[in-house]
Every structure is written in structure tokens, then in C-alpha cells.
């Protein structure tokens, strides 16, 4: 396998993982927005929700951002180990 083929395949895998992350994040945000709409529809309209919605932003946004950060850290770690293993010589 040539270097060009490996880099193209790595680029496709990276794009695929970003697409998977985007799909998971979209489902996560849509689920919590649906929950918020249901909760807001069941309570009275005269109640102020400003104080209760602050933790909601954290619930909605933190897990997708944490998953993206974890993926970036894993990619960085695997690429660092790939350079270490590529530099090792197993000949006697």
C-alpha cells in the first residue's frame, strides 16, 4: 500500500467520524429540545423559566463537545503512537 492510499483512507475515516459525531450530536440536541418543548407546553405560560434553563444548556451542549474533544485526543494519541512505532527498527 502506498503512502497516498493510506493518507486518502485516513482522510475518509476522519470525515466519516466527523459525520458520525454530527449525527449523534444532532439526535442528542433534538431529543433534549423535544423534552424542553414538552415540559414548557405542560406548565403554565406565566411562569419564568430563565433560571431553570441555565443547567439545561449544559445538559444539551456539554456531552457533544466532550465527545468531540475525546475523539480529537484519541486521534492525536494514535497518530503519536503511529510515529513512534514507525520509527522503531525490528532488525537485528
Give tens-digit pLDDT for 12-66: 878 888 899 999 999 999 998 898 888 777 876 666 666 677 788 888 889 999 9
Round to whole Å and give the CA distance between 52 and 58.
11
**Residue 70 counted as domain residue:** yes
Number of domains making up the chain: 1
Task: Tell me which residue has cell 497516498.
Answer: 4
Going by pLDDT thresholds of 50, 70 and 90, the confidence category of residue 1 is very low
**pTM for this one?**
0.66
Give the domain range for residue 68. Answer: 3-87
**Residue 22 counted as domain residue:** yes
**Residue 92 counted as domain residue:** no
Round to whole Å and give the CA distance between 63 and 69.
10
Amino acid at each position: 500500500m502506498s503512502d497516498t492510499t493510506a493518507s486518502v483512507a485516513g482522510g475518509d475515516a476522519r470525515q466519516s467520524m466527523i459525520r458520525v459525531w454530527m449525527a449523534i450530536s444532532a439526535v442528542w440536541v433534538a431529543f433534549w429540545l423535544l423534552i424542553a418543548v414538552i415540559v414548557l407546553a405542560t406548565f403554565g405560560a406565566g411562569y419564568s423559566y430563565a433560571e431553570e434553563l441555565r443547567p439545561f444548556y449544559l445538559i444539551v451542549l456539554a456531552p457533544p463537545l466532550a465527545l468531540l474533544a475525546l475523539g480529537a485526543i484519541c486521534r492525536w494519541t494514535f497518530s503519536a503512537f503511529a510515529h513512534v512505532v514507525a520509527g522503531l527498527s525490528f532488525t537485528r
